[in-house]
Amino acid sequence: MIGMGVVELGGGRHMLPDKIDFSVSFSEFCYKGERVLIGKPFAFVHAKIQGQTDFVLNQLLKYIHIGPN
């Protein structure tokens, strides 16, 4: 789903003729099992349009589980 999120940001193709925007991506994801602190980001989204960021984050949050140790 992370890869599909990059496609939604424009960093991949829906169809073969689509252009790829190499300036959009995700970075600094936390690792599975890593402790997440309140106020510390668990990933960064690099997008050109705020609306894209909100949409992609809402989609990704469906696949991220944060629970007790």
Predicted confidence (pLDDT) at residue 19 exceeds the cutoff of 90: yes
Q: What are the domain boundaries of the chain?
A: 2-63
Q: What secondary structure does DSSP assign to 1-45, as a single string? A: -HHHHHHHHTSS-SSTTPPP-TT-EEE-PPPTT----TTS-S-EE
Q: What is the pLDDT of residue 15?
A: 93
pTM (two decimals): 0.72
* Top-tier CATH class for 2-63: alpha beta
Give the pLDDT band of residue 69 (cuts 50, 70, 90): low
Q: What is the pLDDT of residues 23-46, one digit of tens each?
A: 999 999 888 888 888 898 888 899
**Structure tokens that stand for 38 in this block:** 């309140």
On whether the CB atoms of residues 8 and 55 are closer than 8 A, the answer is yes
Given a contact cutoff of 8 angstroms between Cβ atoms, the answer to whether 56 and 4 are in contact is: no
